[in-house]
Structure 1
Amino acid sequence: MTDLSAFNVSHFAYGRDNLQIVDSLPGADDGQSVDAEADDDNGGGLGLGSLATSVLQLFYPANSINPTSDIPGGADFYATPIDLSDANNVTLEYSVYFPPDFDWVQAGKLPGIYGGHTACSGGDAAISCFSTRLMWRSHGAGELYLYAPKDKQTDALCSAPPQSVCDADYGLSVGRGSFHFAAGNWTHVRQTVTLNTPGQQDGGFVLEVDGNVVMDRSDVFYRDLSISSTFFGGHESEYASPKDQYTWFANFAMSRNA
């Protein structure tokens, strides 16, 4: 793969200069190669098997925090690789590699699925949109970072173990610490979103990490009516990347299940 054409990028919000397609990890050895090929036969979905031999490299400059900071890090783009206009159940998966000396600081955002309008982030009320990005926290702790109508979520979702935080100002942190991203190894994540019945708290979110189900919710409120990003995340300087850092992504696949 030499460009992002297979992703069918509809909007590149920022960070184009921070993204490169490279043949392998710098200094890669057998322990750092992509160890799982994407399945191109995935029910008519997007399968990027070529990413088993080439990877997306994301750059986070020192002192970068988020897209609105003076030093933007990572990248943010919206893609429509397959038609999801009337889909109810969609799966997105990819592999991500953090180097052994990666400094997690406090948090950072990773790709996910979105519905409704773009920019369903940054404090948006999420009344007519949703997004299901993943997030790393200190020491590589992982979570679902959910944007969806905040006052329509169940108490159970907002108290999902081992820790959840429903912040009215920004996104909902769900299942923080239910898994960890590995430093020095690939982590493969696979999320499946099932839209709720309009107006009901019955939406699904299943997250598999390296083949193990770490989150399985059936009480998410995504929408009242029928209707992707990565960077060091936060709005204060303590979230900033302390040095120039990279992550690598491979094995992207998306499928429409229903």
Structure 2
Amino acid sequence: MTRKGLFIPALCYALAVLEAASAQLVAADTLASQYSMTTSTSMPFPSATQSNSDTQSFIVSNWGLSRGRIQDGAPDLDFVNDPFPNDATPGASSNPKASGPVLQITYPNGSYSHDTGGAQLYSLWNTSDSSLLSMMVSYEIAFDSGFDWVQGGKLPGLRGGPNPDGCSGGSNVTDGSDCFSTRLMWRKQGEGEIYAYIPTSNGICKDSNIICNSDFGTSIGRGEFSFASGQWNRITLIVQLNNPVNVANGFVSLYYNDVHAISQQNLQLRSSDVVTAGGLYLSTFFGGNDPSWATPNTAHTYLRNFRLWGSSSPSNSTGSKVNAAARLTGLDSSLQSISLCLISVTVVLSTFGLL
């Protein structure tokens, strides 16, 4: 290789190093202040490791669960010793390293989807304020060393609305009238994204940062960061609901290891005032909804330092009024398909003189 051929890769590497070094680190507490989220809470953890049955009891008793239950995967939850005790989470120094047990999630060999492995629970905001319109969650996650990412899987995020079971689980009816969810996903090779169940209003599927999946959910910022296995990673997710509900000015933002990774404006996260920000959606599993997503071996993730901040103020960004005709998603689009089908059948029958 010529000197010029060697120089260009070296220059690119040097620029990448400089860019990483100059990236601004922003602690979650600082972000909360910037977004005027003045109320906060955290998920308590035990002071010692616990058996599975004790882990279940602790979470049910202390985490303010919707309907007072762990929805799925209770046998796959355990408070265990930190598997990476000497690894400090990258990021701002104002976020100290945790001590004590961490929550282990087990994904059994061959599991995929929330009802075959991993766990799913909805931890409601444990404050008297039930009208939060902006919310932020920060937590730390570690994957087994050598974690096999397969095709992808779900990770904790935020959700809201009076329907605690909608906007997930493969539902393709997401019109924003009774719920929203904004989880995370890992994809192949650990690529990260925000994975949302929200209306796809005003042609957002055309945005270069958005993938409206052909099966379920909307991917925001896929590949803008990548998870690392065998060490701790910090996630901070901000959601500001749109207001008024017929204007697409909602906002989501994500920081990975306290460095800004994803922002998306012009979202309609809700279409009704009954939808507010509810709390932590701890939903994690391989998948996907078919065996091609399954983990080939029993795997684990580990979670710690769940913290929430909230505000009664929604997004104050400008946005366009929602074009109802362009928001034929979920039930609306299904009804449209049925209508078109009936029209086609009528035309065919008329052609052959059967009507």
Partners in 2 of 1:168 and 1:221 — Cα distance? 19
Q: 1:195 to 1:23 in 2, by over 3 A?
A: same
Aligned residues of 1:34 and 1:250 also touching (Cα < 8 A): no
Whole-angstrom CA distance in 1 between matches of 2:199 and 2:259:
28
In structure 2, what is the equivalent of residue 74 of structure 1?
Answer: 118
Percent sequence identity is: 33
User: How far is 1:236 from its partner?
Assistant: 1.7
Which position in structure 2 is the counterpart of 1:123? 170
Matched AA of 2:217: G
Structure 1 position 92 matched with structure 2 position 146 = no
Per-residue CA distance 1:230-255 (angstroms, 9 max, x = gap)? 00011121100110111101111001
Question: How far apart are the structure 2 equivalents of 1:158 and 1:13?
Answer: 35
2:136 is aligned with what amino acid? T
1:180 and 2:238 equivalent?
Answer: no
Q: Aligned ranges for residues 67-216 of structure 1 at < 5 Å? A: 67-68=114-115, 72-83=116-127, 85-116=130-161, 117-119=163-165, 120-124=167-171, 125-127=173-175, 128=177, 129-150=179-200, 152=201, 154-155=203-204, 158-161=206-209, 164-167=210-213, 169-197=215-243, 198-216=245-263
Cα distance in structure 2, aligned partners of 1:38 and 1:110? 25
Match for residue 12 of structure 1? 70
Deviation per CA, 1:23-65, whole angstroms, max 9, x where unpaired?
A: 322xx4523x66789989xxxxxxxx99632211000000000
Between the aligned partners of 1:178 and 1:35, the Cα distance in structure 2 is: 17
- For 2:206 and 2:118, locate their aligned partners in 1 and report how far apart those are by CA, in whole Å: 28
2:292 match: 238
Q: What secondary structure, in the 3-state scheme, does the structure 2 residue paired with 1:144 have?
A: strand
Q: Per the alignment, in what secondary structure is the counterpart of residue 101 of structure 1? A: coil
Higher helix share goes to which structure? 2
Distance change >3 Å, CA 138–CA 247, structure 1 → 2: same
What TM-score do you get using the length of structure 2 for normalisation? 0.63
Instruction: Supply the distance in 2 between the matched residues of 1:238 and 1:168 (Cα, whole angstroms).
Output: 16
Cα deviation for residue 82 of structure 1 reads 2.5
Q: Indicate the structure whose relative CO is greater, using CA pairs within 8 Å and at least 6 residues apart.
A: 1
Higher CA-based Rg: 2
Q: Number of matched residues? A: 240
2:81 maps to: 23
Query: Where in structure 1 are there 5+ consecutive unaligned residues?
Result: 41-48
* Residues 52 and 193 of structure 1: CA distance in aligned 2, closer, same or farther (over 3 Å): farther
Matched position secondary structure for 1:139:
helix
- Paired with 1:174 and 1:234, the residues of 2 have a C-alpha distance of 17
35 and 205 in structure 1: CA distance in 2 versus 1, 3 angstrom threshold? closer
Structure 1 residues 177-186 or 134-143, which shifts more? 177-186
Matched residue SS, 2:103: strand
CA distance in 2, matches of 1:93, 1:166: 26
Given residue 251 of structure 1, which amino acid in structure 2 is its aligned partner? N
